């Protein structure tokens, strides 16, 4: 017959193999955000959210462990803002006011958040640093790291 059936093995794509490979290569170069959708912007979360509290405890402990310019621990005075961004990893954006305590830091001994919060505040009118912490929680769920810590 003069007409070629679509089921015939003789039907060939009009796109040459090089064009298909080029298209595939272009797709590979796109960012995952464009292919999978942009991650959501951080949204406000309640301060008493268990995951926020866990991120906050981690942030305060890390702050104290890596702040060598103070002989005493700092505790959370109040949380000013808490946001989270959920995706393939959870991000917590925390703005916290800290205050120096009477509890001294001891070499090779790390105080837990719960105990730091029990420490008495140093007397007098002292500076209370406001810190922004970005804490990233990834799988396994107990793995956290401090991505950003800035204080003013």
- pTM as predicted: 0.71
Backbone angles phi, psi at 44, to 5 degrees: -60, 140
Token pair for residue 130?
A: 């406001």
The label of the residue with tokens 């464009």 reads: 34
Query: pLDDT, tens digit, for every residue of 35-56?
Result: 444 556 889 999 999 999 999 9
User: Which of 141, 128, 74 is closest to 102 using CA atoms?
Assistant: 74
Query: How far is it, in rounded angstroms, from Cα 87 to Cα 32?
Result: 12
Residue 101, SS3 per DSSP = strand
The label of the residue with tokens 């204080």 reads: 151
Domain ranges of the chain: 43-151
- List strand residue ranges (DSSP E) for the chain, in order: 43-44, 72-85, 90-104, 130-138, 143-151
For domain 43-151, the question of CATH label 3.40.50.2000 is answered with no
Name the pairing type of β-strands 72-85 and 43-44.
antiparallel
The residues that bridge with 92 in the sheet, in sequence order, are 84, 135
Report pLDDT for 15. 57
Name the pairing type of β-strands 130-138 and 143-151.
antiparallel
DSSP structural state of residue 123: S
The residues that bridge with 2 in the sheet, in sequence order, are none
Query: How far is it, in rounded angstroms, from Cα 141 to Cα 138?
Result: 6
Q: What is the mean pLDDT of each run of 10 residues along the chain (152 residues)?
A: 49 58 58 51 91 96 90 97 89 97 92 98 92 90 88 95
């Amino acid at each position: 017959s003069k007409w070629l059936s679509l089921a015939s093995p003789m039907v060939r794509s009009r796109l040459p193999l090089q064009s298909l490979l080029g298209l595939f290569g272009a797709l590979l170069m796109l960012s995952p955000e464009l292919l999978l959708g942009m991650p959501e912007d951080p949204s406000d979360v309640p301060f008493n959210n268990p995951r926020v509290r866990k991120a906050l405890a981690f942030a305060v402990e890390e702050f104290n462990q890596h702040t060598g310019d103070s002989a005493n621990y700092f505790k959370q005075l109040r949380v000013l803002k808490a946001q989270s961004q959920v995706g393939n990893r959870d991000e917590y954006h925390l703005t916290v006011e800290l205050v120096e305590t009477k509890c001294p830091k001891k070499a090779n001994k790390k105080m837990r958040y719960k105990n730091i919060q029990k420490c008495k505040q140093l007397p007098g009118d002292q500076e209370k640093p406001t810190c922004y912490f970005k804490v990233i929680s990834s799988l396994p769920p107990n793995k956290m790291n401090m991505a950003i810590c800035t204080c003013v």
